[in-house]
Amino acid sequence: MKVCVVGLGYIGLPTAALMASHGNIVVGVDISKRAIEDIRRTGGPAEEPGLQKLVKGVLKDGSLRLSLKPEKSDAFILCLPTPVNEDKTADLSYVVAATKSILPFVKKGNLVVLESTVPPGTTEKVVAKLVKAKGLDPRKDVDLAHAPERVLPGKLLDELVNVDRVMGGLTDRATERVRKLYSSYVKGKIMLTDATTAEFVKLIENSYRDVNIAFANELAILSEMLAINVWEAIEIANHHPRVDIHRPGPGVGGHCIAVDPYFLVEIGEGRAELMAQARAINSHMPQHVVAKAERLLGRLKGKKVAVLGIAYKGNVGDPRESPALDVIQLLESKGAKWAAYDPHVKYSPLKLSALEAALKGADLTILITDHREFLELEPKELGNLVKGRLILDTRRMLDRAKWTSAGWRVVCLGDSKKR
Ligand code: SAJ
């Protein structure tokens, strides 16, 4: 098959490379010249194991070509971002623009697949409508389907190949064709349904996680009120064979779990109350963290706070929607000085410092991201840099005994148990 993959971001690029390495001729399209040059030079993000090697290989053997424009193909795959607008509705402008960009090249008998995470009904109402406007019947002339990705950043290639997938077309023929296309490289089970159910499934997976984390965060707040340790409580509760409570933390970040539930809230017209409330609880966590910092220091004005980690989660370099950004903004609004260190983030919206500079003279250190490097920190050495040996661990990842014996006071989110 000749396949045109539009959008060479964190899903589009590995998808294009996998399609190319499994017998297809692939044109990878991106409107950004810089993105294409970067891919040519590096082979893609270094933190994704195996990706650079794979991309360089398929570029070299010619099975993947990069281009600024789509071209005639047998199948088109749309992998565009779907951010949320200010009012928390889905911003489909990238999906619409990409669909319009392929339409001059789409002809009878083609398959068009939407990979982007979208509100239920988008394939049927938005993409199909654009296809129809071009004079093609979206149920007869072309096959339209949705095939959402479900992969975890940091494990992209492995999960794209091995994780089970859900796919659904507007017609049975479209469903069968999308299955066939992806089965060239997907080893996981491919579950087939209709397009709107596939869109819904993708959203409920991430919303399930958001609601579960909100529950854990609520438990953390209750545990602080009860002067007990939420981590201990959750660990014991999770021994029950039918209980699986997630981990509390400083809030939910990233461009998936912190965004996708809004798409269900949007179509729910007031009926998706649980998911809306979970979003509110998780979005409030940075405020809870800063209120805790304020209680620890008396007042924040004029104090220096060192922030460890601005990525949205451990061992990735992505700070999008990270709770750290909200924590820093709140600290600033309260007149605190701050300095942040992150060993993974390369492109930061905020000024980052080296570890020593971040901790120098700090009255309080807040650990936001559970990067593995923070397990190796030496509290004795760091103790000589700071003004106050006080650390707020929002992930319960530090070895309390090690830090305490180096003269630090360790305060943990969700734990106010007397010791
Ligand atoms: N988090 C917690 N407590 C937890 C788990 C996570 O506070 O117990 C926080 C993390 O620190 C992070 C946020 O939640 O800030 C999201 O992290 P994550 O690891 O749960 O998820 P993502 O956003 O990196 O990836 C998710 C995955 N979805 C599910 O696990 C259901 C992934 O499989 C999806 O493909 C991805 O969203 C996506 O692209 O939609």
Decide which of 146, 170, 195 is a domain's last residue: 195
Considering the domain architecture, whether residues 231 and 357 belong to the same structural domain is answered as yes
pLDDT tens per residue across span 89-142: 999 999 999 999 999 999 999 999 999 999 999 999 999 999 999 999 999 999
CB distance 151 to ligand 1 below 6 Å: yes
What residue's CA is closest to ligand 1, atom 28?
206
Asked if residue 263 is part of any domain, the answer here is yes
- Mutate which of 213, 217, 256 for ligand 1 pocket (most atoms within 8 A of beta carbon): 256
Which among 206, 128, 193 has a CA at the least distance from the CA of 165? 193
Residue 325, pLDDT score: 98
Does residue 79 carry a catalytic annotation? Answer: no
Cβ 300 vs Cβ 366: under 8 Å: no
What residue's CA is closest to ligand 1, atom 30?
206
Asked if residue 141 is part of any domain, the answer here is yes
Count other Cβ atoms within 10 Å, centred on residue 71. 13
CA of 257 to the centre of ligand 1 (A): 6
Residue 225, pLDDT score: 97
Two tokens, residue 58: 């398929």
pLDDT tens per residue across span 277-291: 999 999 999 999 999
CA of 392 to the centre of ligand 1 (A): 22
* Residues with Cβ within 8 Å of residue 361, at least 6 apart in sequence: 304, 385, 386, 387
Q: Which atom of ligand 1 is nearest to the CA of 11?
A: 39
Cβ 263 vs Cβ 203: under 8 Å: yes
Considering the domain architecture, whether residues 400 and 283 belong to the same structural domain is answered as yes
Considering the domain architecture, whether residues 163 and 23 belong to the same structural domain is answered as yes
State the helix-helix crossing angle for 195-226 and 230-237, rounded to 10 degrees: 130
pLDDT tens per residue across span 192-212: 999 999 999 999 999 999 999
In terms of residue numbers, what domain contains 318? 209-412
Instruction: Exactly one of 202, 292, 303, 313 is catalytic; name it.
Output: 202
Asked if residue 419 is part of any domain, the answer here is no
Considering the domain architecture, whether residues 366 and 292 belong to the same structural domain is answered as yes
Q: Is the pLDDT of residue 46 over 90?
A: no
Query: Half-sphere exposure (CA, 13 Å, Cβ side) for 150?
Result: 25
Residue 347, pLDDT score: 87
Which among 79, 73, 67 has a CA at the least distance from the CA of 107? 73
Q: Which atom of ligand 1 is nearest to the CA of 321?
A: 15
Residue 153, pLDDT score: 87
Q: Is the pLDDT of residue 37 over 90?
A: yes
Q: How sure is the predictor about 393, in pLDDT bands with cuts at 50, 70 and 90? A: very high
Report the CATH number at residue 91. 3.40.50.720
Arithmetic mean of pLDDT, 356-376: 98
